[in-house]
Amino acid sequence: MIYLKRALLAPIYLGLALLSFSSPVLADDFSVSPTQINLDYSPSGKAPNTVLTIRNISSKTIKFQLSGGIWSQTSKDKMQITPSDDLILFPQVLTLGPGESGEARVGLTNDETINAEKSYRIVVEQLPDAQTQKAASKSFQIIVLTKFSIPIFLKPQNTTAQATVQNMINQKGHLSFELANKGTAHYLAKELTVKGLNSQGASLFQKRTDGWYVLAGATQDYGLDLPQEKCKEVSSLVLDVKTLDNNFSQTLSTPGGICK
């Protein structure tokens, strides 16, 4: 018996991130709302909390398991989730019949010392039902289940993101760079576009890729293989970064071209 979990990794998470945060995420058999949870630190000491709604849109009964923890990032790993007592989920298992909706209470302990945004993720995982498990035990069968996560941000007052580009390098037609966040709150890089310009400033090419969340104090590595047509004529590369709040650019001089 093989259980193949269809996990939504960083590029797919981006697609979820660009949805309206109040709109539900739609999987094949169920929906989850909201797609992002923002909680405010309470100076009064009251623990912040909200509700996550899961709706079964299939014709079968589905069982779900909820888990999660602190979300951190390294330059090469966008998704590190560490279990934490800070995150409270109840119930942690939901069983929903066809067309039914269920709610899970999501809460965070209130930290009096918080001075920067704290990031968490809830993992919503579809579990195999008893009938499917029984059938799979009798013969070889691949069971495709859905697993994805939802970001949670706990914000104190007066937090700001500080989006920058650093270590922008061209190595024989491969552009590498880091998106950095030196602020105290996350930002979401919606779209990254690299333009190759000649010495007169005319555009020779454009190449686009998706960005993602960059948490407070984190950096994210990116790399792009650049078009080689007219590579000798490229005298500069311009990286345009679009975030939900603003846009900014970084330029790299390439007087020798960008040929491999």
Q: What structural domains does the chain harbor?
A: 2-155 (2.60.40.10), 163-253 (2.60.40.10)
What is the distance between the alpha carbons of residues 92 and 68, in angstroms, rounded to a whole number?
Answer: 10
Region 168-189: what's the mean pLDDT? 95
Higher-pLDDT residue of 47, 210: 210
What's the pLDDT band for 10 if we cut at 50, 70, 90? very low
pLDDT digit string, tens, across residues 186-228: 999 999 999 999 999 999 999 999 999 999 999 999 999 999 9
pTM of the model: 0.83
Region 176-188: what's the mean pLDDT? 96
Higher-pLDDT residue of 122, 29: 122
3-state secondary structure the chain: CEEEEEECCHHHHHHHHCCCCCCCEECCCEEEECCCEEEECCCCCCCCEEEEEEEECCCCCEEEEEEEEEEECCCCCCCEEECCCCEEEECCEEEECCCCEEEEEEEECCCCCCCCCEEEEEEEEEECCHHHHHHHHHCCCEEEEEEEEEEEEEECCCCCCCEEEEEEEEECCEEEEEEEECCCCCEEEEEEEEEEECCCCCEEEEEEEECCEECCCCEEEEEEECCCCCHHHCCEEEEEEEECCCEEEEEEECCCCCCC
* Predicted pLDDT at 87: 93
* Predicted pLDDT at 109: 81
What's the pLDDT band for 71 if we cut at 50, 70, 90? very high
Judged against a pLDDT cut of 80, whether residue 37 lies above it is answered with yes
* Predicted pLDDT at 14: 31
Region 108-126: what's the mean pLDDT? 85
Region 220-245: what's the mean pLDDT? 95
Judged against a pLDDT cut of 80, whether residue 138 lies above it is answered with no
Judged against a pLDDT cut of 60, whether residue 4 lies above it is answered with no
Region 128-142: what's the mean pLDDT? 64
